[in-house]
Structure 1
């Protein structure tokens, strides 16, 4: 959401600055360090209001328009279905599918409300404002019918019965608190759900001036406060062990808007200590926890810091940002694998089809804005721009308005797009917001003396009104594809002296600036900005040229794993249409100097083709974010010619091993694939398929199992199962025709690789049989079995199948 920042005291600003200065050194996104000759930037900054900016034709404007059309396709009454039903009112529309038809139902309404408010601010669309007002009227009617401020769309599942989510709160208030991380007493993330609703109400108040929105928020807040008032602090922490979004931010914001200390006290109490306290001590508490669960908590601490000046909250927010950007972020700016933070600094080992969850970058950009407001630094917007262009633009298809949950980086992977009315993932909701506000961070001003300095952070074609100077600003550019940027001041109330600060990206060398056609031979540089202080008048023009070239960027942990960029844009190799399979090897680049093996392809968009360095064949490269319906490769192993020869020899040895294993195989089971599972008579209970690193598999949950029939032959046989080496806390039994032959433990024993485990099958279990049933189930008292990524029965070495 967009925040209305409470002005900071000098003491609070000094605390924030200290927190930044003492944070660990940020590793950066390029080999080019920002020059600094002493800070002349303001102590704090604020973005120009979203409604002051209008986008000109560009990929960003295309994204906004595609999103606007999708927002208008959705029906508010269908999103309100459960809200009215649970209030005892007759729904006016059928419930949508996907997550809206599950126990997280209702979360989309909050995102939608925010998106409508932002879209109205960004474009002036009157229908968006009308819809938002209608939704708030309906929410108020639901509260009136409920009588106690309660309003929600979520449900709970109990014994396969779906019921009103309200029923969990009397249980919680009695101290009956049950959570498995995402489930609270049978309801999927209810406080996360409410955080989205609060955000939508606040944004409607901020951008639409809707006074009724605050009344709805206050009534709901009073209900929630009543729930937590019944709990001691240990019980509050139990509740917070379930993903709760940034509910701390909700109450911090409510306090900022009302001045009521009741809400500040609640916001402070809703601090998830298990995760946040170590961060405040600059200790990394993130490995192997769900990534996007954490980011909103830090945004909440950032908001609390802005209100209270608490230094520990600023330290935690800054340390978290530094850690995630420096240790967990991929070249596109996104983070996490399978939605979780792995061990720090292991990017090269986690390039899969399950990176990067789009909500993560949506939230990281929000956190970055907070940190920048406290202390403007170009490196913060170097990251912001990286993720904004290469992840946020990549996660929407502007032609359809649909969104990708994951934006995968594994070679041969592709984006999977949402359906308009039958998915409603979290990343659909955050996508509605992200693509309604592309103009929100282009221009910033000095928070204390807004008429003294104007900061250009993003080079997006646009026009903006700068109220502090009565000015109109205009940016014309082909950026991010072209480094020529023309900034002009078509209107200025009166001529006057102020400073224009232009961000010089960290990847850029040799930036050139001219004012009204006259070059500035040595512009003053401070903290990554070129500062132009002069007396400005209407009609003045500034041109900024940022030379762009092809460059290589290695992962922090492996210099041989690289990606290619042109200016701020990540490039990807085109591996074919998304609707066609890719079963080739991951491409590699073989050259002493990789960039010398690329030839530019003429056109407005940066494109290249390799010349005799791509293996197994040369490759065509284009901007990753635009390859929405293609299979791509973003990361590549690079080799010298000598290293490539060794690699080929190792490959030949492995292929010989696999051929020998195939000769000895009696049966092979490809778990997680429809036809093989049918062919092997798979039966399952509480079992789910998964795909990871291009391999399909299956797991089983509490009281569940999966079993399948495999062929056998007389004599000694071996069962082989494949696992991923970073699964944790798994203990499960493997049975053959009802007899346990092994108990398997998985506890991150083989990080970064798949591995095989073999189990001898007693000959008595196969004697006289042509098939046996293999069953996999959690060990007594355990919650997960597997996942198992395939099974094979084969004869010992020296024997072959008959």
Structure 2
């Protein structure tokens, strides 16, 4: 049992600047190491990871069912009406409304999600819906791009359409998706700005949309680079370069913290464009920008891994993160923020092989997005995680907000975040019930993961190979996991289990070989920021344990009382701290339903 008050994190919060000469973005990471970045790890395909029963698999099924049963005429209505075409079907309403806030904005995301679910399941009905959506949308495109006229979000919606059409082609084999992408780009081009424009949140409805109001042109390069890779069309590479947000990326690469005041989700999303620019252009400055930017976000994150109270980054050293706990119920834009977080950490983990990015992804998984309430059939969606002392889960008041597009996508992407490969073997990143399949040295290999982690410390893995073969199994040892142990076929393995590293088992494997990893779920405390050292969250392993509220707030506990929390016998998702009338019940966010809760507790300083 320990108390976690990270001095390095406090220093970052206080000073808000990072030295380019010393890229110590994570413990043990040096500038020399940054200059010797190995080849990126490979991703497994969606079908190569099968999730076992549990909350991740349930969230996948819920979202697949939702998008599979969305009415196609309703989905196409904004494109048809704004294009001057007949439009049967009902308005979905909310943000999606034809003449509303963001008409048709989530169409591309739902198309992308369906293509991913088809890649996962091979479901014929899912592919048929992808085909109908692409053909239906293609019939609405006109060369002049009438859809984009007087549209608040031309860049944002175009970007989502690009992503959806790319996935329809590469994951669902749609035969007209790339031709439709070319037509979409021609139609959108006259309505895009000349370069990446800052988000103009001061713009009001009815003002000149040529200023692009709240639009997010700075997120365009990622999908444009991907489109170039898939199609070879130089126009996409030119567009990617045109919209690289160097006014944001270059200061970050120099170590200047330009985050405060910026819209959190979209600028986190923009960092994936920097990562993709590095992979596409081989310019280290963009990798540096992505890593520095992520480290600056991490330094102002809540214990849950979430960031951006009221959707904006705060000023380091201002105490605003802690101040937000008093009344700011919009603590973290959860599905959208988690989607951006997963994308960026996946890029950075693959490129740097630094397991700290996996630690961060894991914390966001269990403490934010996995606890999101299911999207309702009428379009009400979980939007914000609330970290105030009077918190409840709830839905955004408007139907079909942006988070209704990203939640189905990130649920599909759990699979491609579980593990990665290289020529020597496999890197296990997320310890979830799953079956991984890949080719190693030309032979089929599988790894079966059986665990109740993070509600329990034990993780069991079984190797299945078509024949005995030698390769590496690399296991992420979280930075908090002191005292981890490892056995193979019941025997202790003399492999260094250093917190914050990958432990490597490089050996001959035979079918049925069993790996047993134990990650003790020690309790520890983390303050919200340096200016509020006595406002703390209780963690056990990767889980933030949140106090259930049942009446008047109890007297502030001591640190010792919080750290003494233990799982309730027979219910690993519920914990108790203290004893007698002053005892409190705590649960992880993913196990909280309609109960009131508090993420942070004030501790007794006496």
Structures share fold, TM-score greater than 0.5: yes
Highest RCO, 1 vs 2 (Cα 8 Å, sep ≥ 6): 2
- Partner SS state of residue 106, structure 2: helix
Task: Call closer, same or farther: CA 1:399–1:336 in 2, change over 3 Å.
Answer: same
| 1:601 to 2:568 alignment | yes
* Residues 280, 315 of structure 1: 8 Å contact kept: yes
Aligned position for 1:443: 419
Alignment of 1:485-524 (within 5 A): 485-490=459-464, 492-523=465-496
**C-alpha distance in 1, partners of 2:405/2:38?**
35
Aligned position for 1:390: 367
Of 135, 158, 180, the match for 1:194: 158
* Residues 386, 568 of structure 1: 8 Å contact kept: yes
Aligned position for 1:330: 302
Alignment of 1:421-500 (within 5 A): 423-446=399-422, 449=423, 452-468=424-440, 469-490=443-464, 492-500=465-473
* Residues 111, 433 of structure 1: 8 Å contact kept: yes
Question: Hey, which of these two has a bigger chunk of strand by percent?
Answer: 1
**C-alpha distance in 2, partners of 1:288/1:109?**
29
| 1:106 to 2:83 alignment | no
Aligned position for 2:184: 220
**C-alpha distance in 1, partners of 2:538/2:58?**
25
**C-alpha distance in 1, partners of 2:516/2:144?**
55
Deviation at 1:72, TM superposition (A): 2.9
Task: Call closer, same or farther: CA 1:570–1:588 in 2, change over 3 Å.
Answer: farther
Deviation at 1:599, TM superposition (A): 4.6
Deviation at 1:313, TM superposition (A): 1.5
- Partner SS state of residue 385, structure 2: coil
Deviation at 1:243, TM superposition (A): 2.6
Of 37, 57, 65, the match for 1:61: 57
Deviation at 1:42, TM superposition (A): 5.9
Task: Call closer, same or farther: CA 1:546–1:140 in 2, change over 3 Å.
Answer: same
Aligned position for 1:791: none
Aligned position for 1:290: 263
Gap runs ≥5 in structure 1? 1-18, 151-163, 169-186, 577-581, 643-802
Aligned position for 2:3: none
Deviation at 1:290, TM superposition (A): 1.4
| 1:25 to 2:24 alignment | yes
**C-alpha distance in 2, partners of 1:364/1:596?**
29
**C-alpha distance in 1, partners of 2:396/2:196?**
40
Alignment of 1:613-632 (within 5 A): 617-632=582-597
Deviation at 1:286, TM superposition (A): 1.2
Deviation at 1:396, TM superposition (A): 3.2
Deviation at 1:628, TM superposition (A): 2.6
Aligned position for 2:87: 91
Aligned position for 1:381: 358
* Residues 196, 244 of structure 2: 8 Å contact kept: no
- Partner SS state of residue 569, structure 2: coil
Deviation at 1:499, TM superposition (A): 0.8
Deviations 1:100-128 (Å, cap 9, x if unpaired)? 12131101111111111122223333322
Task: Call closer, same or farther: CA 1:635–1:527 in 2, change over 3 Å.
Answer: closer
- Partner SS state of residue 412, structure 2: coil
* Residues 474, 489 of structure 1: 8 Å contact kept: yes
**C-alpha distance in 2, partners of 1:516/1:342?**
49
Of 564, 568, 574, the match for 2:542: 568
| 1:633 to 2:598 alignment | yes
Gap runs ≥5 in structure 2? 1-17, 201-209
Task: Call closer, same or farther: CA 1:620–1:393 in 2, change over 3 Å.
Answer: same
Of 534, 541, 547, the match for 2:520: 547
Task: Call closer, same or farther: CA 1:481–1:189 in 2, change over 3 Å.
Answer: same
**C-alpha distance in 1, partners of 2:472/2:186?**
47
* Residues 196, 243 of structure 2: 8 Å contact kept: no
- Partner SS state of residue 368, structure 2: helix
Task: Call closer, same or farther: CA 1:242–1:397 in 2, change over 3 Å.
Answer: closer
**C-alpha distance in 1, partners of 2:76/2:376?**
27
Question: Hey, which of these two has a bigger chunk of helix by percent?
Answer: 2
Task: Call closer, same or farther: CA 1:464–1:235 in 2, change over 3 Å.
Answer: closer
* Residues 43, 376 of structure 1: 8 Å contact kept: no
- Partner SS state of residue 517, structure 2: strand
* Residues 64, 437 of structure 1: 8 Å contact kept: no
* Residues 396, 431 of structure 1: 8 Å contact kept: no
* Residues 288, 342 of structure 1: 8 Å contact kept: yes
Aligned position for 1:179: none
Deviations 1:671-704 (Å, cap 9, x if unpaired)? xxxxxxxxxxxxxxxxxxxxxxxxxxxxxxxxxx
Aligned position for 2:388: 410
Task: Call closer, same or farther: CA 1:313–1:372 in 2, change over 3 Å.
Answer: same
* Residues 60, 438 of structure 1: 8 Å contact kept: yes
Task: Call closer, same or farther: CA 1:476–1:51 in 2, change over 3 Å.
Answer: same
Q: Output the TM-score relative to the length of structure 2.
A: 0.86
Aligned position for 1:740: none
* Residues 149, 223 of structure 1: 8 Å contact kept: yes
* Residues 567, 573 of structure 2: 8 Å contact kept: yes
The worse-fitting range, judged by mean Cα deviation, of 516-525 and 250-259 is 516-525
Aligned position for 2:215: 243
Aligned position for 1:129: 127
State the Cα RMSD in Å: 3.0
Structure with the greater alpha carbon radius of gyration = 1
Aligned position for 2:148: 166
* Residues 481, 605 of structure 1: 8 Å contact kept: yes
Aligned position for 1:267: 240
- Partner SS state of residue 470, structure 1: strand
**C-alpha distance in 2, partners of 1:567/1:61?**
22
**C-alpha distance in 2, partners of 1:528/1:313?**
24
Deviations 1:484-519 (Å, cap 9, x if unpaired)? 1111123x1322111110111111111111111212
**C-alpha distance in 1, partners of 2:497/2:583?**
44
| 1:281 to 2:257 alignment | no
Task: Call closer, same or farther: CA 1:105–1:124 in 2, change over 3 Å.
Answer: same
**C-alpha distance in 2, partners of 1:85/1:520?**
65
**C-alpha distance in 2, partners of 1:315/1:511?**
32
**C-alpha distance in 1, partners of 2:529/2:26?**
8
Deviation at 1:608, TM superposition (A): 2.1
